[in-house]
Amino acid sequence: GAGVSQSPRYKVAKRGQDVALRCDPISGHVSLFWYQQALGQGPEFLTYFQNEAQLDKSGLPSDRFFAERPEGSVSTLKIQRTQQEDSAVYLCASSLTGNENTGELFFGEGSRLTVL
Amino acid sequence: EDKVVQSPLSLVVHEGDTVTLNCSYEVTNFRSLLWYKQEKKAPTFLFMLTSSGIEKKSGRLSSILDKKELFSILNITATQTGDSAIYLCAVGGGADGLTFGKGTHLIIQP
């Protein structure tokens, strides 16, 4: 596709439910990043893939968060047993380069998660 | 821990004014500083700066980096209501992924 595509755009979950957020990066982009953006804050790094390899998951806030990119293209961010503090916009971004973030990131429009 | 601080956090000006947004940073192994504009949707890329003292320009927007003093500024001249947005500064350093500041919320009043 022409840009980074994320789905769903909006998700309302009851506390304790599991959710899965999908990211389709720009075709051919090597690097894929997930960020969490709370209201009024800048995006916070969650995890980074280079192709199918998850090279850094240091930003994942707890073991309830899990991300995968099994074929080096589409990625899924899964949140188990959602809590209210998980409510945020989850941004996916991709980059053409395989190096650590020296290049421009292209962001998707985000998935807004609201946990009731 | 990498740190990016933007100021002001919010700014309200009138159309036609010039604004300067600030970004200071502390990161290990600095690689690049990027500016993004975020409206209601995805952040969109404005500039990437890697070299000190070289101004990047795009229309009414310009940005410059000072690697000695560890800061960057984003200037917008002759502001228009369409410039209203959150402007994010991000720095690429020792960790994977960018470290973002909290952003400057800019409001341009007609």
**Cα radius of gyration rounded to whole Å, chain B:** 13
Nearest Cα to A33, choosing from A42, A41, A23? A23
Which among B41, B88, B92 is the nearest to A42, CB-wise? B88
Query: For A102, which of B92, B95, B102 is closest by C-beta distance?
Result: B92
Residue A5 has pLDDT above 60, yes or no: yes
Percent helix, percent strand, percent coil in chain B, to nearest 5: 5, 55, 40
Work out the average pLDDT over B12-18.
97
Residue A67 has pLDDT above 60, yes or no: yes
Tens digit of pLDDT for each residue in A74-93? 999 999 999 999 999 999 99
- Catalogue the E-assigned strands of B39-103: 44-49, 56-58, 61-66, 71-76, 85-92, 99-100
**A111 or A96: which carries more pLDDT confidence?**
A111
Burial of residue B41, with CB atoms counted within 10 A of its CB: 0-12 exposed, 13-18 middle, 19 or more buried? exposed
Chain B residue with the nearest C-alpha to that of A100 = B96
* List of chain A residues whose C-beta atoms are within 8 Å of the C-beta of residue B41: 109-110
Of B36, B41, B97, the CB nearest to A109: B41
Binned at pLDDT 50, 70 and 90, residue A95 comes out as confident
Mutate to test the interface with B, among A48, A58, A100 (most CBs of B within 10 A): A100
Minimal-distance CA residue of chain B relative to A5: B42
| pLDDT tens digits, A6-49 | 999 999 999 999 999 999 999 999 999 999 998 888 888 899 99
pLDDT digits (tens, 9 = 90+) for B93-105: 655 668 899 999 9
The confidence score (pLDDT) of residue A51 equals 93
The answer to whether B42 contacts A44, with C-beta atoms less than 8 Å apart, is no
- pLDDT tens digits along A53-65: 998 898 999 999 9
Q: Would you say residue B51 has pLDDT above 60?
A: yes
